[in-house]
Amino acid sequence: MWSLDVCCGCCQPGPADRTLVGMVSLSRVLTVAALTGAFLLTSCAENDDVGSPGSVDADSDGAEENAEEAAEQERAEEEERFSEAVGAQEAALAGPGEQHRSEAAELVAEMTLDERAGQVIIGEYSGTDVDSAAELVERHHLAGVILMGHNIPSSSGAVATDALAAQIDTIASSGSDPEAASARAVPPIISVDQEGGLVTRVGAPLNEWPTPMGSGAVHQSSGELWSVGGVHRHMAADLADLGFTVTFAPNADVTIGADDPTMGSRTFGADPDSVGPLALQAVRGLADAGLAGSIKHFPGHGSVTDDSHHTLPVQQRELSELRERDWKPFAEVIEAGAPMVMMGHIEVPELEAGVPSSLSSAGYAEIREMGHEGVIVTDAMNMAAIADGFGGDQAVVEALAAGADLILMPHSSPGAHAAIMAAVESGELQEDRLVEAAERVVALVLWQQELAAGELDAGPGVSAPEELQGRVIYGPADGDSRNEGDEPPSAEEASEHPDAGDPSAVAEHVAVQSITLVEGDCETELVTEALQIHGGTQQDRDRLAMAAREAGLEVGWGPVVTLLGGTAPSSGDVVVSLDRPEALADSTAETKLALYGRTQASFTALVGVLTGTEAPGALPVEVGEHPVGHTRC
């Protein structure tokens, strides 16, 4: 260290020299200080060049923080773009928007009472007499028609698709002449009851599908959602190609299992937490192919023990129970947005004793309180639950007064039309209520027409934006849930997904993934050389035999495979339920399998399991002592 005391002590200056010495000493001090500072600065610079640990850490931390902030900002922007893209897709697929409702109000305002009265009726007609159907629609200004099995032309045991398309085109053109005095405001609705599985009005050569409960079995096993949307999208595409605009599907009913005589495999299962997401995917899949769907049958047909086709079922549950179970899937889909909800014919004493829900204002109020702003359509009004106890034409008026917007299949469309007009003229039915109903129906048609034409942000022919390329499910964005329950997330992997535009691949996927081993040993060769086939229909046996022979097996000897086509139990070495699985509980067999379908793909999947492959599905409904979610694999 430098010391001034040493220097000053050695020189011993006189008084006269002290000033000069002091100046010299000060100069030296300043010089030394300057040299010391230069040395220190040089050392710091050199240390910087070689990487001072403290300085590098500070700079590195700052750079890392900046990079993290930039990455977080990029993620936030990406998530915002994703959410906006999902929002646009959802708005397009969920049902009519404000623009459709506004335009509908203008159109209905120009309608006569005669036209408004018809605009709330979906009629039916006999056989393939398309001219009478067209005349019915035009004369009574009907909202449209529904085609049942007897309306579908056939040839050599299959649907005559060209004839059917021509038939639909004739009806769709009814009243469309712009020069005519009674030209329609919107095209007629061409509807069908097509659910897949048991309820299939338009069959082969259209693609065949397993029952909805098959999708429930897939979901119970893996949480998968994409395939049910794919099933309904492809199903709707087939129907749209023929000219249909509406299908009354999917079912949002929650079955109670063996005591449910009506719904069974038509439902997605007994778990409301599964039924809701599956119903949402299904109704969105229909819309993505250009069809308006309808969730049904509120207030829940799956938990009553009578069939409304034959009598009026009574739902004895309390409202709190219904909201926690039967109504939960409806509320979930309605919250996301539903084009249409179907009201069933079920008495709910907790809502209104002695009155079917389709005639009860309290029933309609429940749906509106869930947030549904669109069409509420009745179940078929010619069913015994209504026709046997509540009249024909009068029940139509009561349904509209209670809150229905669209009357499906009244006993007589001309009679219903006349009754509505008379009720308005007498004051029994408020005209404002009729106007409201007609506006909702017209808005639905306007939305469906734009959707089918590719004029919205989703639908047939509309390419998904880049942000949604890796998304394989529908529904609102909830954080980064674009692939919830589904893999893979990337666009490249999604292109290899089984739903790559091939409906047969989707059908096969559901058939393979849904088959459930209820009892027995997993991945066991149950059949090695041959099998005997008992039970089922002739078509069922033929299809299983074909699948067996294609796998190199002989038919006519070996283990007995018994097919259950209904609710009666049976026996065999292997017992297989084809639709609903509850009858397996009382069947006698070492191995019990649930198939959930009668398609050729289903029987091919069955042969695979019989010869040792895994049965991946899980029960979507209780079977005896086996709970929902059970599997032996």
Q: Read off the pLDDT of residues 346-365 as tens digits, 9 standing for 90 and up.
A: 999 999 999 999 999 999 99
* pLDDT band of 337, cuts 50, 70, 90: very high
Q: Give the span between the Cα atoms of 512 and 130, in whole angstroms.
A: 40
* pLDDT band of 477, cuts 50, 70, 90: confident
Asked whether residue 543 is domain-assigned, the answer is yes
pLDDT at residue 333, as a whole number: 98
Q: Give the span between the Cα atoms of 424 and 19, in whole angstroms.
A: 122
pLDDT digit string (tens) for 555-580?
A: 999 999 999 998 999 999 999 999 99
* pLDDT band of 430, cuts 50, 70, 90: very high
pLDDT at 235 over 80: yes
* Coil vs helix vs strand at 347: strand
Asked whether residue 521 is domain-assigned, the answer is yes
Which are the contacts of 564, defined by CB distance < 8 A and separation ≥ 6? 535, 536, 570, 575, 576, 577, 578, 583, 584, 587
* pLDDT band of 471, cuts 50, 70, 90: confident
pLDDT at residue 547, as a whole number: 98
pLDDT at 238 over 90: yes
Output the average pLDDT for the chain. Answer: 88
Mean of pLDDT values over 485-508: 61
Q: Give the span between the Cα atoms of 250 and 260, in whole angstroms.
A: 18
Asked whether residue 412 is domain-assigned, the answer is no
Alpha-carbon dihedral of residues 513, 519, 522, 527, nearest 10 degrees? -90
Burial 351-375 (b: 16+ CB within 10 A, else e): bbeebbbbbbeebbebbeebebebb
pLDDT at 482 over 80: no
Q: For the chain, how are helix, strand and coil distributed in percent, rounded to 5? A: 50, 10, 40
Contact indicator for 405, 292 with CB cutoff of 8 Å: no
pLDDT digit string (tens) for 159-171?
A: 999 999 999 999 9
φ/ψ region of 612 (left if φ > 0, alpha if ψ in -120 to 50, else beta) reads left
pLDDT at residue 64, as a whole number: 75
Asked whether residue 570 is domain-assigned, the answer is yes
Contact indicator for 195, 116 with CB cutoff of 8 Å: no
Mean of pLDDT values over 115-124: 98
pLDDT digit string (tens) for 540-551?
A: 999 999 999 999
Which are the contacts of 356, defined by CB distance < 8 A and separation ≥ 6? 312, 345, 346, 347, 385, 386, 390
Mean of pLDDT values over 399-420: 98
Contact indicator for 421, 444 with CB cutoff of 8 Å: no
Domain span at 38: 4-47
pLDDT at 489 over 70: no
Asked whether residue 42 is domain-assigned, the answer is yes
* Coil vs helix vs strand at 189: strand
Residue bearing the bigger pLDDT, 499 or 446: 446
Asked whether residue 338 is domain-assigned, the answer is no
Reference 560, options 580, 589, 598, 601; nearest CA is: 589
pLDDT digit string (tens) for 494-504?
A: 444 665 579 99
Q: Which H or E element spans position 604?
A: helix 600-610
pLDDT at 490 over 70: no
pLDDT at residue 65, as a whole number: 75
Q: Which H or E element spans position 384?
A: helix 384-387
Mean of pLDDT values over 404-429: 97
Q: Give the span between the Cα atoms of 48 and 425, in whole angstroms.
A: 95
pLDDT at 300 over 90: yes
Q: What is the DSSP letter of 465?
A: P
Burial class (CB in 10 A: 0-12, 13-18, 19+), 263: buried
Our CA angle for 165, 169, 171, nearest 5°, is 120
pLDDT at residue 48, as a whole number: 43
Residue bearing the bigger pLDDT, 32 or 552: 552
- Number of domains the chain is built from: 2
Which are the contacts of 59, defined by CB distance < 8 A and separation ≥ 6? none
pLDDT at residue 34, as a whole number: 39
Percent of the chain residues past pLDDT 90, beyond the cut: 79
- Paired tokens of 135: 């005349």
Give helix 272-288 / helix 226-242 axis angle, nearest 10°. Answer: 40
Residue type, position 47, single letter: N
pLDDT digit string (tens) for 366-408?
A: 999 999 999 999 999 999 999 998 988 999 999 999 999 999 9
DSSP labels, 390-404: S-SHHHHHHHHHHT-
Mean of pLDDT values over 409-430: 97
Contact indicator for 573, 558 with CB cutoff of 8 Å: no
Pairing of strands 158-159, 154-155: antiparallel
- Paired tokens of 38: 């230069």
* pLDDT band of 56, cuts 50, 70, 90: low
Contact indicator for 509, 501 with CB cutoff of 8 Å: no
pLDDT at residue 57, as a whole number: 62
CA 520 vs CA 22, 372, 441, 573, 593: distances in Å: 109, 46, 52, 11, 9
pLDDT at residue 394, as a whole number: 95
pLDDT at residue 181, as a whole number: 59
pLDDT at residue 73, as a whole number: 84
- Paired tokens of 289: 């192919």
Asked whether residue 528 is domain-assigned, the answer is yes
pLDDT at residue 390, as a whole number: 93
Asked whether residue 551 is domain-assigned, the answer is yes
pLDDT at 35 over 60: no
pLDDT at 42 over 90: no
Contact indicator for 155, 179 with CB cutoff of 8 Å: no
pLDDT at residue 4, as a whole number: 34
